[in-house]
């Protein structure tokens, strides 16, 4: 089961990899220098056969020991120079490529924070995690080795072939015979390996998702004894990935078999033909030695074509996956529409003819919210009540622009929220979600994420949320709460989330059933403290229980995506059967009888 959008249409490997240029540009000088040094080192390696030719046809043929020792010294110096140059190249690229990887990872993380909630709803976290880790590691490896050596080996093969043709063009043509079948093999291999590489990297993302969900949901897995079924699901995905990796290995083995075998056969044929020419006196022994030494020096550049192409395809796929995320449109900023003159600006929070449907909803499906009109006056608290699935959470998510309205507008103190930057909007609106999320940080850091500036604000917020238990933790508010806050109870997490919402003294407060995980006595204490906060704040509170509803000045009933009634709790209880049913928990039959 894939949890990422389908890959795009077939792409050019070169065009895809060129998208890395903005990241490579700052370190291009060192990379170009490293590539030049590598080419120079490879060309030095091709000089060695020429020295051998000189030695065989000169000092060895003339039985000159001094000349042989001089030739040996030349070979030693050339070998040392080649080794030092390759070592220097490696030193040149290590630091800048680590910088490129770090910059790409930082850009990806920043971009993820700016993407809309709809994007994160579609994408599995494991897919995003694999792009930030495995894919970027592949790109760093590509820039460090294959990118350079595709150029280096290409130049080495070209120079080597020219040297062989100059030495003896007939033998050179024999060596070139395998070039055409090798090129055809490379083209076929590139297409097939590209598909396999994409499939493997997507499967790594799926596997990462399963591991992450299993770790976060370990209590559920253990509580319901589902470890065996989860292990089977993991083995299935792992088996699919193994099969894909084996398919990649077979493709690589096939191309390596062809690339290695054909040139070896050509070298063998050249050896036989060259030996005949030497025997006939048409070719010197030194020339044959130099020719064969050059051909053998080209074995590594030729043999490496297969895995260099494989690494390039994996890098192209990693680049494609990286930019699938980076190309996603971030949350739009303020629309900066011109202010309208005339008429007083109405304060508080107002929903004006709001219609909303999710971006990926099927065509023609009814909207989640349909022409919602609602006004919460300055300093007023309004409870939002409705059956499960009526759109309450969706409506609250529109206020901080976690989703964008499809039609209509929302205003704060008469100002369209789309005219505000998200930073300004979210500094004025605080949210406490139904599912409290805590981060792997201290209690204090988690609470102060909502604003505030120090211990005084922290203590006040903890007091409002009745979260004074934080002071009794082993290190007080400096205690690490652990990933997802799972070291705390559900009620404790919910109280810390409520403290986070009120710590910054927001102008507008949006609470999504903030007391659902609390016991009766704690709920009463939180409500008493929360009333003092709500007295100075304009608040929208999603409520399911009468005790929470009583915190609000008025109540709005949301039914089928529309506001069907607004009034006080007692007014709706007396005059609206659906509201009375929701508050009393009467069976559906009784509701029908009341109607």
- pLDDT given for residue 333 in this prediction: 58
Cα gap 295→425, rounded to integer Å = 69
- pLDDT given for residue 332 in this prediction: 66
- pLDDT given for residue 588 in this prediction: 41
Q: Would the pLDDT of 522 be above 80?
A: no
Residues 182-200: tens digit of each pLDDT: 888 888 888 888 888 888 8
Region(s) of the chain under CATH 1.20.1560.10:
13-326
Q: Are 399 and 349 in contact (CB under 8 A)?
A: yes
pLDDT band at 128 (very low <50, low <70, confident <90, very high): confident
Residues 270-310: tens digit of each pLDDT: 888 888 888 888 888 888 888 888 888 888 888 888 878 88
Asked which of 99-103, 189-193, 331-335 is least confident by mean pLDDT, the reply is: 331-335
CATH class held by domain 13-326: mainly alpha
Q: Is the dihedral of CA 474, 479, 480, 481 positive or negative?
A: positive
Q: Are 536 and 379 in contact (CB under 8 A)?
A: yes
Q: Mean pLDDT, the chain, as a whole number?
A: 81
Cα gap 257→232, rounded to integer Å = 37
CB atoms within 10 A of CB 331: 16
Residues 22-53: tens digit of each pLDDT: 888 888 888 888 888 888 888 787 787 777 77
Give mean pLDDT, residues 60-72: 78
Mapped onto helix, strand or coil, the DSSP state of residue 242 is helix
Q: Are 389 and 369 in contact (CB under 8 A)?
A: no
pLDDT band at 246 (very low <50, low <70, confident <90, very high): very high
Cα gap 305→148, rounded to integer Å = 13
Regarding the domain with residue range 349-594, which homologous superfamily does it belong to in the CATH classification? P-loop containing nucleotide triphosphate hydrolases (3.40.50.300)
Asked which of 3-12, 286-295, 318-327 is least confident by mean pLDDT, the reply is: 3-12
- pLDDT given for residue 323 in this prediction: 92
Residues 100, 187, 28, CA angle at the centre, nearest 5°?
20
Q: Would the pLDDT of 338 be above 80?
A: no
Region(s) of the chain under CATH 3.40.50.300:
349-594
- pLDDT given for residue 322 in this prediction: 92
DSSP 442: B
Q: Are 140 and 103 in contact (CB under 8 A)?
A: no
Q: Would the pLDDT of 1 be above 50?
A: no
522 or 152, which is more confident? 152
Q: Is the dihedral of CA 399, 402, 403, 404 positive or negative?
A: positive
Residues 406-439: tens digit of each pLDDT: 888 899 888 888 888 888 888 888 888 777 777 8
Q: Are 418 and 588 in contact (CB under 8 A)?
A: no
Cα gap 197→317, rounded to integer Å = 7
- pLDDT given for residue 346 in this prediction: 65
Q: Would the pLDDT of 589 be above 80?
A: no
Residues 345-401: tens digit of each pLDDT: 567 889 998 898 887 777 778 888 888 898 988 888 888 888 888 888 888 888 888
Looking from the CA of 89 toward its CB, the CA atoms found within 13 Å total: 24
Report percent pLDDT > 70 for the chain: 91
Cα gap 539→505, rounded to integer Å = 12
CA dihedral 29, 34, 40, 42 (to 10 degrees): -150
pLDDT band at 11 (very low <50, low <70, confident <90, very high): low
């Amino acid at each position: 089961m894939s949890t990422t959008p389908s890959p795009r249409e077939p792409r050019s490997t070169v065009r895809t990899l060129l998208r890395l240029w903005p990241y490579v540009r700052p370190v291009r000088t060192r990379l170009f220098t490293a590539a030049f040094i590598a080419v120079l080192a490879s060309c030095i390696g091709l000089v060695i056969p020429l020295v051998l030719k000189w030695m065989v046809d000169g000092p060895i043929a003339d039985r000159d020991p001094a000349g042989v020792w001089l030739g040996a010294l030349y070979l030693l110096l050339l070998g040392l120079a080649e080794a030092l140059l390759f070592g220097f190249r490696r030193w040149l690229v290590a630091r800048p490529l680590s910088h490129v990887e770090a910059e790409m990872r930082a850009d990806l993380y920043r971009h993820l924070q700016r993407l809309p909630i709809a994007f994160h709803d579609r994408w599995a976290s494991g897919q995003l995690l694999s792009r930030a880790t495995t894919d970027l590691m592949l790109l760093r490896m590509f820039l460090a080795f294959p990118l350079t050596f595709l150029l280096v080996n290409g130049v080495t093969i070209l120079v080597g072939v020219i040297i062989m043709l100059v030495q003896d063009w007939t033998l050179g043509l024999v060596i070139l015979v395998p070039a055409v079948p090798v090129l055809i093999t490379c083209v076929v291999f590139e297409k097939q390996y590209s598909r396999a590489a994409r499939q493997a990297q997507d499967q790594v993302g799926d596997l990462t998702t399963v591991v992450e969900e299993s770790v976060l949901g370990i209590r559920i897995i253990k509580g319901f004894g589902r470890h065996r079924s989860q292990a089977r699901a993991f083995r299935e995905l792992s088996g699919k990935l193994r099969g894909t990796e084996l398919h990649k290995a077979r493709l690589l083995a096939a191309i390596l078999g062809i690339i290695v075998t054909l040139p070896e056969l050509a070298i063998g044929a050249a050896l036989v033909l060259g030996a005949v020419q030497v025997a006939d006196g048409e070719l010197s022994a030194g020339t044959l030695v130099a020719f064969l030494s050059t051909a053998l020096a080209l074995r590594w550049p030729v043999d490496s074509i297969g895995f260099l192409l494989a690494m390039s395809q994996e890098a192209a796929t990693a680049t494609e996956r990286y930019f699938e995320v980076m190309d996603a449109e971030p949350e739009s900023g303020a629309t900066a529409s011109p202010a309208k003159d005339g008429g007083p600006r109405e304060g508080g929070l107002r929903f004006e003819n709001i219609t909303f449907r999710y971006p990926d909803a099927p065509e023609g499906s009814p909207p989640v919210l349909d022409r919602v009109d609602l006004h919460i006056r300055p300093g007023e608290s309004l409870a939002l009540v409705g059956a499960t699935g009526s759109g309450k959470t969706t409506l609250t998510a529109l206020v901080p622009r976690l989703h964008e309205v499809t039609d209509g507008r929302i205003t704060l103190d008469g100002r369209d929220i789309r005219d505000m930057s998200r930073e300004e909007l979210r500094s004025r609106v605080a949210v406490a979600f139904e599912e409290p999320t805590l981060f792997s940080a201290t209690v204090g850091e988690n609470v102060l994420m909502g604003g505030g500036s120090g211990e005084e604000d922290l203590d006040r917020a903890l007091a409002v949320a009745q979260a004074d238990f934080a002071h009794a933790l082993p290190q007080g508010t400096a205690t690490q709460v652990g990933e997802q806050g799972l070291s705390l109870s559900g009620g404790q997490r919910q109280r810390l989330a409520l403290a986070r919402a009120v710590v910054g003294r927001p102008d507008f407060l949006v609470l999504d059933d903030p007391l659902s995980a609390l016991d009766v006595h704690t709920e009463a204490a939180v409500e008493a403290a929360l009333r003092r906060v709500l007295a100075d704040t304009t608040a929208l509170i999603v409520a399911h229980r009468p005790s929470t509803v009583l915190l609000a000045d008025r109540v709005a009933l949301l039914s089928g995506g529309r506001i069907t009634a607004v009034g006080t709790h007692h007014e709706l209880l007396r005059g609206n059967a659906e509201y009375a049913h929701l508050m009393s928990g009467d069976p559906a039959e009784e509701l029908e009888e009341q109607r």
